[in-house]
Chains A and B, each alone.
Chain A
Amino acid sequence: MKNEWPLWEIFIRGQHGMSHRHVGSLHAPDAEMAIKNARDVYTRRNEGVSIWVVEANHIAASSPSDKGPLYEPSESKVYRHPTFFDIPEEVGAM
C-alpha cells in the first residue's frame, strides 16, 4: 500500500448557481494533481465549471448500523416535507 497514491473524492459543479456534486473518486499524489486528474477523468465533455477535491480519509461518514436512530424517526412524519405549498413558477428550480 505504501506505493499507492491516496484516494480523492471528486466534486464537480455542473453550472453556475448549482451546487458541487460528487461524481466519483480517483488516485493522485497531491491535491493539485487530483484536480488535474479530475479534469482529465471527469470534465472532458464539458461537464463542469468548478472542481473540488477532498482526500477520502478526511471524510467522516455515518455508520450503517446507526440507520435506525438516524433515519427511522423521520419516516412517519410526512408533514415535514414542503409538499403542501404551491410554489410559484417564477421561483424556478429549487
Chain B
Amino acid sequence: MTRDDAFFQFLLRMGDNTLILGHRVSEWCGHAPVLEEDIALANTALDLIGQTQMWLGLAAEVQGDGKSADDLAFLRDAWDFRNVLLCEVPNGDFGRTLMRQFLFDAWHSIQLGRLMKSSDERVAAIAEKASKEVAYHLERSADTVVGLGDGTEESHRRMQEALDYLWPYVGEMFQSDDVDAEMVKAGIAPDPASLREEYDVLVSRILGDATLTIPESRFAHKGGRTGAMHTEHLGHLLTQMQWLQRAYPGAKW
C-alpha cells in the first residue's frame, strides 16, 4: 500500500462517517418529537454533510482519478464505504438516535482535536473548521443524553436500552490497521487506539451523570471502516440516498 492509497482510505473513513451519519440524522427531518429538536437535528445533519464535502473532496483530489466528492458519495456501492458501523445502524427511537450521536460526537471531537495538528495542512484546516461544529454537537447530544437518562422512568429505560444496543459498535472506532499505521508514520493522523483513554473518561463522566450503566462487555462489531462487512442496513440507506443519481445519472440541481 502506497502512502497515497492509505491517505485515500483514511479520508474515505472520515468522509463516509459524516456522510452516512449525516444522512441518518437527516431522516428525522419533519419527524422529531418537537419542532426545536427537529431543527437542531436537521442542522446537525447539514453540518455533517458539509464536512463530508470537504473530506470527500480531498479524497477525490488525493485519488487523482478526476472524480468529485459527489461521485464518491453517490456512485460507490456498499462495499466501497468506509464508515464505522455505528454510523449506519438505524435511528430507532429519538433516544437511541441521540445516544448514537453522543457516542460518535465524543469520538469525533477527540479525533478532530488531534487532526488539527496533522502534518497535512489540508487535513488540519478541515479539522479546524469541523471542530467548532462538532464541539456544539457534543454539547447538545451530551446534554440530551443526561436529560433523558436522568429523566423519567421511561426515558431512563429507553436510554439504557439504547446504550446496551449501541455499545458493541463503539469499539470499532478505536481499531487500528495498516492504513492507520501509515497515517501515524506520516504524521497525518493519530493511532485510533490512542484515543480510547480520553474517550472512556469523557463517556463515563456523561453516562454517569445520566445515571446509565456502561455494559461490561468489550465485544466490538467491526468491518465498516475496513469495508470487510457492513450491516445489512447500509444498502437500504444507499438506495434512498443515491436513488436520484442512479435513476438519472448526472442530473444537476
Give chain A's interface residues, CB within 8 Å of chain B.
5, 26-29, 32-33, 36-37, 39-41, 44
Contact present for B147 and A28 (CB under 8 Å): no
Contact status of A27 and B143, CB under 8 A, knowing A36-B40, A37-B40, A41-B39: no
B43-A36 in contact (CB<8A): no
Q: With a CB–CB cut-off of 8 A, which chain A residues contact B34?
A: 5, 27
User: Inside 8 A of A5's CB, which chain B residues have their CB?
Assistant: 34
Q: How far is A5 from B136 in the complex, measured between Cα atoms in Å?
A: 22
In whole Å, how far is B223's beta carbon from the nearest beta carbon of chain A? 34
Does B140 sit at the interface, judged by CB under 8 A?
Answer: yes
B120 at the binding interface (Cβ < 8 Å): no
**Chain B hits for A39, CB < 8 A:** 136
- CB neighbours of A28 from chain B (8 A): 36
Q: Is A27's CB under 8 angstroms from B36's CB?
A: yes
User: A5-B34, A27-B34 are known contacts. Are A40 and B143 too (CB-CB below 8 A)?
Assistant: no
In the complex, which residue of chain A has the Cβ closest to the Cβ of B41? Answer: A40
Question: A37 and B43: CB pair below 8 A?
Answer: no
Q: When A27-B34, A28-B36 are in contact, do A40 and B43 touch as well, CB less than 8 Å?
A: yes
What distance in Å separates the Cβ of A30 from its nearest Cβ neighbour in chain B?
8
Contacts of B43 in A (CB 8 A): 40, 44
Please give the distance in Å from B29's CB to the nearest CB on chain A: 13
Which residues on A sit within 8 Å (CB–CB) of B136? Answer: 39
Which of chain B's residues 28-75 have a Cβ closer than 8 Å to chain A? 34-36, 39-40, 43
